[in-house]
A and B are shown apart, each in its own frame.
Chain A
Amino acid sequence: MKKSPYKIVIASGKGGVGKSMLTSGLAYLFGKDEKITAVDCDVDTPNLHIWLNEIEDWESSTPIQTSKKPVIDYEKCNGCGKCVQNCNFNALKMKEGKPQLNSFLCEGCGACKVTCPQNAIKLKSISNGKIRKKKTKYGFNLISGSLFPGETGSGKIVTELKKEADKEKVEYQIIDSPPGTGCPVIASLRDADLCILITEPTLSGFSDIKRIFELVKYFDLDYKVVCNKWDINKKIFQKIKNWKKDNFIGKISYNKKIFELISKLEPIMKTDLKVKDEIVKIYDKIKKEIK
């Protein structure tokens, strides 16, 4: 039984292997047949709107506060240094007998606050990002998060973003994950119904899909494998294809033209490139799988 909304997360480990391109293509195709929401969880560097050829005229842009930072009352502080000792993130250092915060390293955990014997530290909420929303020209909504540069808490922004997406009554969520395997990635895919793992046939690409696979296994999620730019190294492509044979659902060819298209902000699904047909094939396989 398919649950609703059914969450499809496109993830990769390695950056620049085609996550957002595939997400935009799948969103376009799913959006033609079903009610969907496209969600850009790459809050550090959100690019899905560019792939969808949408300009940034967001209908709503809501600042969010998912980060906290300590504020030290230097009148009360007696310079005992306990906060510095207890900070596991190296964000506090003693300077001229008093603790000083490096807010770039601070995770806002509050260990300093609870350890301070003088009650000299308070936690203050920080506006660290925003959630943006718009109706696309394809008819479905795009929800996109953004982390302010220099702020922490990207995983929590993703969590808020997903809550916002869950408010929409749709059949499918097509979700673009950030690269890597850290907190924003974990937040993106932990409740996925299906993960589409995409990579390229390079040693790095193969190594990184294995890394994201470990995470997928850790959370016991369903997954499928796609190889982008498959023809740049056919030998490694074969290895990737055979790696999880039963879960391999498609390949996408390399085409320098994609660079030009994206530079002209032309959506690939409206061209007659081979890439388009290849994404349609992947879409068909996913649909068959879900039904």
Chain B
Amino acid sequence: MNKSLKQIGITGGKGGTGKSTISILLANKLVDQGKKVVLCDCDVECPNEYLLLDEKLNNEIDQVFVEFPELIKEKCTKCGLCVKTCQENAIFQPKGGYPVFINDLCSACGACKIVCPNNAIKNREEKIGKIYRNNINSNFVLVSGLSKPGFEETSVVVRKLKKIALNIAKKESADVILFDTAAGTHCSVISALMGVNKAYAVTEPTPLGAYDLDIILELCKKLKIDTEVIINQSNIGNKDVIKPIVDKYSLKIRTEIPYSKKLVERYSKGKLKNFKELNEKITL
């Protein structure tokens, strides 16, 4: 691994606080400073970065597969061990019948296959995600993932995506890789944040932002990630509610980004490529 590669996570807990926007503004600024940047959009359920950069997801560079269980009826003795083992309740066995695998609930962990005493379960490979690459400019690569609707364990896609993005960063001798996470704190967010050197938690100056910031900062603390807070749209609402949360974790507010009509407009149309208006505010 490239020793000088800096890995930064952009997160926030609450949705719609500006994680993707800040990720792009930060990438733009770093590129402006002569750095080579890889931006990795870890919101594989609803990826947006490509839209904000006026790009299309048409350059598929890899795929993500998992192995779902499939029954070999001839070998199955209906013993029910797989049903008992499955922690997701994804195997249903009607009385006296063969077990039925419910794909929507299955996490593709493979425990049923391992436990089956008759080798009556085989793997059926299924594509559950795609990975895309967009070259924004010669110093800025965007890597995005897209999960298949209906598949629950989207963190599997995030992990593969990160691996590929890190490889690209290495090949391109990038200085920084940015991981923009989904909203929330669940497994896909944890997977996105795992291994970063630094995280920025983006929040908004409302009680909602404060409540969710508390939760995400608790997560970052548990993951032992050096974190700082960014208040977006800092001049609307009431930012007094944010400070006590930041103090609770003895952290710093890195920067405050005021509401900008121009930014909102550019955001809605997907025109954030080369947006530099707020560059002096992005002090990372």
**Are both chains from one complex?**
yes
Choice from A47, A114, A203, A259 contacting B52 with Cβ under 8 Å: A203
Choice from A16, A20, A109, A259 contacting B88 with Cβ under 8 Å: A109
A149-B194 CB under 8 A given contacts A15-B15, A155-B152, A204-B51: no
B48 touches A182 (CB 8 A): no
* A108 within 8 A of partner (CB): yes
A204 touches B183 (CB 8 A): no
* A77 within 8 A of partner (CB): no
Choice from A105, A107, A180, A260 contacting B183 with Cβ under 8 Å: A180
Q: Give a binary string over B185-219; 1 marks a CB under 8 Å from any A CB, 0 the rest.
A: 11111110010000000001111100110011011
- Could you say which of B25-33, B134-142, B267-275 contacts chain A? B267-275
Q: Give a binary string over A73-101; 1 marks a CB under 8 Å from any B CB, 0 the rest.
A: 00000000000001011100000000000
* B14 within 8 A of partner (CB): yes
B182 touches A180 (CB 8 A): yes
Pairs A-B, 9 closest by C-beta atoms = A15-B15, A16-B16, A44-B184, A109-B109, A183-B152, A149-B219, A204-B48, A15-B183, A263-B238
* A186 within 8 A of partner (CB): yes
Q: Give a binary string over B10-21; 1 marks a CB under 8 Å from any A CB, 0 the rest.
A: 000111110010
- Chain B residues lying within 8 Å of A186, measured Cβ to Cβ, are 104, 150, 152
A88 touches B268 (CB 8 A): no
A232 touches B268 (CB 8 A): yes
| Residues on A facing B (Cβ under 8 Å) | 13-17, 20, 42, 44-45, 47, 50-51, 68, 86, 88-90, 104-105, 107-111, 113-115, 123, 147, 149-150, 152, 154-155, 178-186, 190, 201-204, 207-208, 211, 214-215, 218-219, 232-233, 236, 256, 259-260, 262-265
Best-buried of A17, A51, A104, A233 by chain B (most CB within 10 Å): A104
A16-B114 CB under 8 A given contacts A150-B219, A180-B182, A262-B207: no
Total interface residues on B, using CB and 8 Å? 69
A114 touches B236 (CB 8 A): no
* B223 within 8 A of partner (CB): yes
| Residues on B facing A (Cβ under 8 Å) | 13-17, 20, 43, 45-46, 48, 51-52, 66, 85, 87-88, 104, 107-111, 114-115, 147, 149-150, 152-156, 159, 182-191, 194, 204-208, 211-212, 215-216, 218-219, 222-223, 233, 236-238, 241, 259, 264-265, 267-270
Given contacts A16-B16, A17-B16, A150-B185, 7 further A-B contacts (CB under 8 A): A13-B45, A15-B17, A105-B191, A154-B186, A203-B268, A262-B207, A264-B238
A114-B111 CB under 8 A given contacts A15-B16, A204-B48: yes
